[in-house]
Amino acid sequence: QEHKRILARKVIIERRKEEYEQMLQEKEKEEESRRIQLEQLRAEEEKKRLQTESVRREEERIRREMEEQEAEETRALMEAAKIRGQKFEDGEKVDKVQLRQQAIQEQIKERQEQARKLGRLSKSMDHFERAKREEQISMLMELHEK
């Protein structure tokens, strides 16, 4: 009887043990899966962070480049303006739009000046030719008399 009871108890203990192990295993598994999930989550977050970071950096780079380009253009416009005789104070804030406007104006002026110059040239060429022809008249009359 006792033996039977002990046997039964043993069985129960065995079972409990098994149950316990099983529980432990399940718990471990659960934890494992939670850990993996967490890691995944973290990795994703990290990825997202990196992505936003790179986007931010890219934007930063573009902005910087644009600024640099802007500065470069402004500098070039300033240089051109300096050549034209415009003076700038050290550290003076200059308006690029205004500078560009000035440059365009200057270009138009140059074109007009060029056109005026060519117009003058055209006139002087015409007048020189006509003057020469006037002076040639006596030569031609002599030729005709011959």
Partner 1 sequence: EEDFNAEEIQKDEGFSCVVVVDNLPVIGIEKYEKLLGVLKKIFSQIGEVHEDGLYMPVDEQTKKTKGFAFIEFANPDQAKIARQQAEGYKLDKSHTFKCNLLKEVEDMSATPEEYKEPELKDFVRKDNLYSWMLDARGRDQFAVRYQDMTEIHWNDPKTGTSEDVYSRSFWTESYVQWSPQGTMLATVHRQGAQVWGGEEFSRIQRFGHSKVQLIDFSPCEKYLVSYSSQESPNPREGPMAVFNVSDLKSGQTLRSFKGKLSDFMVAGGEHKAPGVEGALQWPLFKWCQGNDDKYFARLARNKSGKTMISVYETPEMGLLEKKSLQMEHIVDFHWSPTQALMCVYQAASPDGNQPARVSLVEIPSRSEIKSKNLFSVKDVTVHWHPDGTYLALQVSRFTKSGKTSYNGFEFFRVGERNTPMEVLELEKKQEKIVSFAWEPKGHRFAIVHGDGARPDVSFYTMQDGQKGQIKHLGTLHGRPVTSLHWSPQGKFLIIAGLKGLNGQLEFFNVNDMDTMAINEHFMCTNVDWDPTGRYVATSVTSVHQMENGYIVWSFLGQQLYKVNRDRFFQFLWRPRMPLDLGKDKENEIQKNLKKYSKRFEAEDETLKSQADVEKMEERKNMETEWADFLESKKKVFEEIREEHEA
Closest CA to 94 of 110, 73, 112: 73
Decide: is 11 part of the binding site for partner 1 (CB under 8 A). Answer: no
Give Cα separations from 108 to 75, 101, 104, 113, 116 (angstroms): 21, 11, 6, 8, 12
- Residue with Cβ nearer partner 1 (61 or 109): 109
Q: Please, are residues 103 and 80 in contact by the beta-carbon 8 Å criterion? A: yes
Query: What is the rounded distance in angstroms from the CA atom of residue 143 to the CA atom of residue 146?
Result: 5
Give Cα separations from 116 to 102, 108, 111, 113, 123 (angstroms): 21, 12, 8, 5, 11
Decide: is 131 part of the binding site for partner 1 (CB under 8 A). Answer: yes
Q: Please, are residues 81 and 105 in contact by the beta-carbon 8 Å criterion? A: no
Shortest spacing between CB 146 and partner 1, in angstroms? 11
- Residue with Cβ nearer partner 1 (89 or 142): 142
- Residue with Cβ nearer partner 1 (20 or 128): 128
Closest CA to 95 of 110, 80, 73: 73
Site string for partner 1, 83-122 (x = CB under 8 A): -------------------------------x---xx--x
Shortest spacing between CB 136 and partner 1, in angstroms? 5
Among 5-13, 43-51, 77-85, 138-146, the segment contacting partner 1 (CB under 8 A): 138-146
Decide: is 123 part of the binding site for partner 1 (CB under 8 A). Answer: yes
Question: By the criterion CB under 8 A, which residues form the site for partner 1?
Answer: 114, 118-119, 122-137, 139-140, 143-144
